[in-house]
Amino acid sequence: MKSEHPFDILIPAPVSVVKQEGAVTLANLKTLHADPEFTGIAEEFVRLAAVFGIRLAVSPDPDADLVLRRNGTLETDEWSIRVEPSAILAESAGRTGMSYAFSAFAQMLFAAEIRGPASAVLPRGTVTDKPRFAWRGFMLDSARHFQTPATVKAVIRLMAHFRLNTFHWHLTDNQGWRIASDAVPPEANAATLTAGQYTKDELRGVAEFAARHGVRIVPEIDIPGHSRGLLKACPQYACDAAAPGGEFCLGNPETIPFLKKVFAELLDIFPDSPVIHMGGDEADTAHWEKCPRCLAAMKAAGCGTMRGLENRFMTEMTRFLIERGRTPMLWGTCSGQTYPPDTIIQSWLDIREPLRVAPNGNKVVYSVHNSLYFDYPENLSEPFETWMFELSEKGVYMTDPHIIWEEKVKDAIIGTEACLWTERVPEWRVMRKILPRLGAYAECAWSLPGKKLWHDFLRRKELLEAAGYYDFLLGNCRERGEE
């Protein structure tokens, strides 16, 4: 028989589950007590319980039916839920851990209620849990197709439900410059697939919302390529102002001061983002090869190739971030460059990239496209492009950031990130492109390899789906994204 035990349906799978005899009847839960720092998340527990008709009154009495308690001996992301006949106790060291306990508790309630509220119980026992990887990311491309702040917040909320913690926000590309900026004219956004820009207040609002949900933001401005819209509006920074293309001119002495102004603004909008992404992918050298200023700069720098000049350029840009206390991040280039060791490399195209950059000291985030690009079709009846692979939920589940590497390469891999590029994904398709594959991905990011078993994952997913959990996520994350 399929196990509906509420500890056995959690996605991502937890580290440890201990089951004991006895149970708490959910209908008997009346009071909730939270340590002061958990007041905000306590409201989430109350709202969630109300979905199932359980009316929880917040109580100053620590002897309540449901207790959210701080336990300073736990690690930052660690959490536990202990169910005793007398009370349910959720513990964590801080708000992040408690938000993970909340997401697990939500799944437990859905499983417990599957046969109806009259018989809904949480069995006695304890779940303790912490993540495998510190970096559990998801990237949303808001440049190709724009999403309203409400949709972006809904995505962040969905991430939080699966205990993901890093929202990489791809804000600029050839097709759109989504930051309403003082440094960049609005015309940079003129060639978009869908209109829209985020005001600084909206960007800050999303950052504040993400912080409340235990998610940090990695904003990205993609340079020196992927900049067609911006260069159309500011052709003076292109190699050929009459035909600006998508790459900044590396030999123009005004390019770097301009870009530093642009990034300074980004740092001001996102003061709490420790990592800033500078792109660095897919710059075409063709303009540079024909540009007298780029050719002169290459010669003066003794670089030998345009890739060498690009490397110098990006190194200088990453120093700008380091001097301001931020960590730079770049897409892996796969064209042989090495970057300063304090730069995080996002490995997306070449599965062997960690082998190349780890000995240089770089940390790596694993985003290999044929396992983790969520724009790729889940089945081939969806719209797709010729460069894409089919990426089923099972295909996502099979990936492992450590692949087959030896220990010293594994140590360089700080985590993983799934990416939703939106060339073919208008706003209304975003949530469905993310679910249900996000659960499979979350298990790759959070759970220990020994806990990963496809058929067991399918069992848990089917139970949660049947219980209405995925429908709840779609509705609830959208509705609450408005806040």
Residues making contact with ligand ACM (CB under 6 A): 281-282, 331, 348
Beginning with the edge strand found earlier in the chain, give each strand of the sheet holding 31-34 in spatial order.
16-25, 121-129, 79-83, 88-92, 66-70, 31-34, 57-58
Q: Which is nearer to ligand ACM, 288 or 331 (CB)?
A: 331
Q: Residue 249: name its binding partner from ligand ACM, Zn ion, none (Cβ under 5 to 8 Å by kind).
A: Zn ion
Whose tokens are 């992927």? That residue is 226
Query: Cβ distance 467 to 111 under 8 Å?
Result: yes
- Counting contacts by CB under 5 A, is residue 279 touching Zn ion? no
Task: State in angstroms the smallest separation of the CB of 384 from ligand ACM.
Answer: 15
Residue 291 contacts Zn ion per CB under 5 A? yes
Q: How far is the CB of 349 from ligand ACM (least distance, A)?
A: 7
Closest contact distance (angstroms) between CB of 281 and ligand ACM is: 4
Q: Does 109 bind Zn ion (CB under 5 A)?
A: no
Dist CA 80 CA 90 (whole Å): 6
Mark residues 234-273: x for contact with Zn ion by CB under 5 A, - for none.
Answer: -----x---------x-x----------------------
Say if residues 445 and 164 touch (Cβ distance below 8 Å). yes
| CB nearer ligand ACM, residue 313 or residue 331 | 331
Determine contact, residues 403/382, Cβ cutoff 8 Å: no
Q: How many secondary structure helices (H) and strands (E) does the chain include?
A: 17, 17
Instruction: Pick the closer one to ligand ACM by CB: 331 or 374.
Output: 331
Residues 192-228 as b/e (b if ≥16 CB within 10 A, e otherwise) read beeebbbeeebbbebbebbebbbbbbbbbbbbbbbbb
What residue 293 binds from ligand ACM, Zn ion, none (CB within 5 to 8 A, per partner kind)?
Answer: Zn ion
Q: Which does 331 bind (CB under 5 to 8 A by kind): ligand ACM, Zn ion, none?
A: ligand ACM
- Least Cβ distance, residue 254 to Zn ion (angstroms): 11
| Calpha distance 475→481 (Å, rounded) | 10
Which of the listed partners (ligand ACM, Zn ion, none) does 281 bind, with a CB threshold of 5 to 8 Å by partner kind?
Answer: ligand ACM
| 179 lies in the site for Zn ion, by CB under 5 A | no
Among 204, 212, 293, 312, binds Zn ion (CB under 5 A): 293
Nearer to ligand ACM, 169 or 348 (CB): 348
**DSSP assignment letter at 225:** S
Minimum CB distance to Zn ion smaller for 313 or for 348: 313
Nearer to Zn ion, 250 or 266 (CB): 250
Residue 348, binding choice from ligand ACM, Zn ion, none, Cβ under 5 to 8 Å by partner class: ligand ACM
Cα separation, 199 vs 204, in Å, equals 9
Binding of residue 294 to Zn ion (CB under 5 A): yes
Distance CA 79, CA 129 (A): 6
From Zn ion, ligand ACM, none, which one binds at residue 169 (CB under 5 to 8 Å depending on kind)? none
Please state the closest distance from residue 81 (CB atom) to Zn ion, in A.
Answer: 58
- What's the number of CA atoms in the CB half-sphere (13 Å) around residue 259? 29
Which of 279/481 has CB closer to ligand ACM?
A: 279
Query: Least distance in Å: CB of 345 to ligand ACM?
Result: 11
Partner whose footprint covers residue 368, from ligand ACM, Zn ion, none (CB < 5 to 8 Å by kind): none
Size of the site for Zn ion (CB under 5 A): 6
DSSP H or E segment with residue 393? helix 393-398
- In the list Zn ion, ligand ACM, none, the entry touching 282 (Cβ below 5 to 8 angstroms by class) is ligand ACM
Cβ proximity to ligand ACM: between 170 and 213 the closer is 170
Longest dimension (CA), the chain: 79
Place of tokens 């099972």: 394
H/E segment holding residue 413 = strand 413-420
- DSSP states along 258-298: HHHHHHHHHHHH-TT-SEEEEE-----SHHHHH-HHHHHHH
Give residues in contact with Zn ion (CB under 5 A): 239, 249, 251, 291, 293-294
